[in-house]
Structure 1
Amino acid sequence: MTSTIPQLQIHGVNDLRLDTLPAPVCGDDDVVVQVRQCGICGSDLGFLSMGGLRGDEPTPIGHELWGLVSEAGANVSSVIPGQRVVVQPLIHDNNIGNGGSEGGFSPYLLVRGVAQSPDSLLPLPDTLPDAYGALVEPLSVAQHGANRVTAQAQDKAVIFGAGPIGLSILLVLQYRGLENIIVVDLSEARLTAARSLGAVALSANDPDLLPKLIECHGSSSFFGMPMPASSVYFEATGARSVFERIVDISGPGSRVCLTGVHKEKATLDLIMLLAKEISIISAMGYDVEFPQVIEMLQSGRFDPTVLVTHHFPLSQVTQAFEMARDSEQAIKVMIDCQA
């Protein structure tokens, strides 16, 4: 390892820079990971538009990653140098790439407190390809949402948003045995991707969206009015109007999982919410989902790399972020942090 490394940081609103910083120093309780791949998350784009999360300090970003253990502190016994690992960025209050002092868009990453919190690094099983590693994190977000609403095979699901998280939710629900899953989006390219994965893909602009939901999932009656019999909805866009629309069209007793990150207050008709007995359940991050997702991937029942549309070297990370903003071309943009 050289004495300095490149580190991607936010310096202000839409001000993204690949800075040169001192290489990480491994403490007795810590691990230094040689980052191989790190995916661009929608929250990374959100942090950039906000100007960061650390006030006047630059914000290092990147939290969807895997790599090799480069160095392990004297007190660390859970992993060894050379081992492939997936980084759980939120354990031990590290908040890697989420307002903490480290970020994954760099060749080397310091993961603090592994001796006290060994679950912050999970071995990537030998049977799984390298390309699966950086996808464990977004799949864990999807799995957490499915866990929060206790999605089961008999559910009829509608996913609003066919971005990386929406399509990850689709894969997770299919793994759980759900059928006739509907995905709604504005982007025809993303709807095509959802359709290729086996979803019923519908345009959010379709004036017949409501009757098409009823056609696919059946009808439930609400004071004599026909409403979709869909039992669970996932909001994965972060758009206030979409969340409000879901609450409006959802039928009696349905569950709404809020996974999109919203920056505006929503207006809800509480009388209708009360009368329909809708459950609104939020899902942010993950808790126990990393091991669950790794087990799912080991089943071989789906290939998450279908979500990856573009690869860039770290040296071209600013171009990669521009591509990630283009919903007509990109779904998941992956960065090679060793190039």
Structure 2
Amino acid sequence: MTIPLVRVHGVDDVRLDNIDKPRTAPGDVLIEVLLCGICGSDLGYIGMGGLGMTHPMPLGHELVGSVAEVGERVSHLQIGDRVVVNPMAGGNSIGNGGTEGAFSPYLLVRNVAADERAVIKIPDGLSVDQAAMVEPLSVALHGCRQGNAKAGDKVVIFGAGPIGLCVALCLNYLGVERLVIVDQSSHRLAAAESIGAVPFKAGSNNLGEFLIQQHGQSELMGMPVPSSDIYIEATGAKPVFEQIMNTAKTGARVVVLGLHKQSVPLDLANVLLRELNIVGSMAYSDEFPAVIEMLTGGKIDLQPIISHRFPLSQFSEAIAQASEPDEAIKVLIDCQC
């Protein structure tokens, strides 16, 4: 039996290939994939032709599904269980340079017996839409934790893409009320406003003055600066990071969440002067259970973020839509169509 699987063959060359249906080893689990979201990294992998592998690179890692087969050494799952998958657990790197990808009707998850965190059962009350967002929300929650975000903090998010908006949702859940989000897309800023963030269109006015209006004023060697406590950099754009470095108050926390593809010079005298706390945030460690609990509580509204749905058979059209920031935010793929 053959099944379709999305794979990158070269620069801007992504195809829906036919492969043999995977076989389950004793320590593995076979997942029937219901929904899988398109991540910004998927677009990046397509644009760069994969991760330098000699064979086609499978895509897809933001998924929800049900258990179709269970290896004999896997004890915590049963056929029919509704689950999410941690793509980085068990050494799998699903959709991120590994041998499997989730843009397919079936996904083989290896080494589940050795690492039970690889496949996690979800509560009955969690919808498939909510579950499909567990992975990106885990990325966002990890970024919040890296910045030690807490109720009462004044936070600025740069980038109202899926991850930036997920960060906003997580911050709302943590009790952060004075939240500003900066982006160039009016469409995405509208989504940000609908989930409780104060939008600012990049380049429209003086950001520093706007942040002082929203967060109050501090002084840095006699100069007025915003009293913002945390800056979340979720764009991967060099000018944005440089702007943060020249705006932050003394003791501000800066979380680098966006992937920077070019080097950014760091003025250590400026870091010293402002006593900045700069930290990176890469993927997640143990956030999946916390995100599932957060979603189960019913306090997170994902509808402003989920913008489009496509069947797997129309993956090319879905990728084109996901590449339009003024129209799309999170695009979900129905992998059974």
Query: After TM superposition, is the score higher than 0.5?
Result: yes
Deviation at 1:196, TM superposition (A): 1.2
Q: Which amino acid aligns with 2:95?
A: G
Deviation at 1:92, TM superposition (A): 0.9
Show the counterpart of 1:77.
75
Aligned length: 337
1:33 is aligned to 2:31: yes
Residues 187, 326 of structure 2: 8 Å contact kept: yes
Superposed CA deviations along residues 268-325 of structure 1, whole A, max 9, x for unmatched, are: 2221111001111100111110000001111111122331000000000111001000
The structure 2 residue matched to 1:319, chosen from 317, 320, 326, is 317
Structure 2: distance between partners of 1:22 and 1:243: 45
Deviation at 1:251, TM superposition (A): 1.1
Structure 2: distance between partners of 1:202 and 1:181: 11
Structure 2: distance between partners of 1:234 and 1:240: 14
Deviation at 1:54, TM superposition (A): 4.0
| Alignment map for 1:211-290 (pairs within 5 Å) | 211-290=209-288
Structure 2: distance between partners of 1:114 and 1:11: 28
Show the counterpart of 2:175.
177
The structure 2 residue matched to 1:15, chosen from 1, 6, 13, is 13
Show the counterpart of 2:86.
88
Q: Which amino acid aligns with 1:32?
A: L
Q: Which amino acid aligns with 2:294?
A: M
- TM-score w.r.t. the length of structure 1 is 0.98
Q: Which amino acid aligns with 1:65?
A: L
Superposed CA deviations along residues 52-104 of structure 1, whole A, max 9, x for unmatched, are: 01422111010000101000011111110011000010001100000000001
Over the matched positions of the two proteins, sequence identity in percent amounts to 50
Q: Give runs of ≥4 in structure 1 deviating > 3 Å.
A: none
Structure 1: distance between partners of 2:222 and 2:38: 46
Secondary structure of residue in 1 paired with 2:36: strand
Residues 132, 305 of structure 1: 8 Å contact kept: no
| Alignment map for 1:99-248 (pairs within 5 Å) | 99-248=97-246
Structure 2: distance between partners of 1:296 and 1:288: 14
Structure 1: distance between partners of 2:305 and 2:234: 15
- TM-score w.r.t. the length of structure 2 is 0.99
Structure 1, unpaired ranges of 5+: none
Secondary structure of residue in 2 paired with 1:328: coil
Out of 324-333 and 115-124, give the one that drifted further: 115-124
Q: Which amino acid aligns with 2:215?
A: H
Show the counterpart of 1:65.
63
Residues 195, 301 of structure 2: 8 Å contact kept: no
Secondary structure of residue in 2 paired with 1:320: helix
Superposed CA deviations along residues 226-245 of structure 1, whole A, max 9, x for unmatched, are: 00100001011111111111
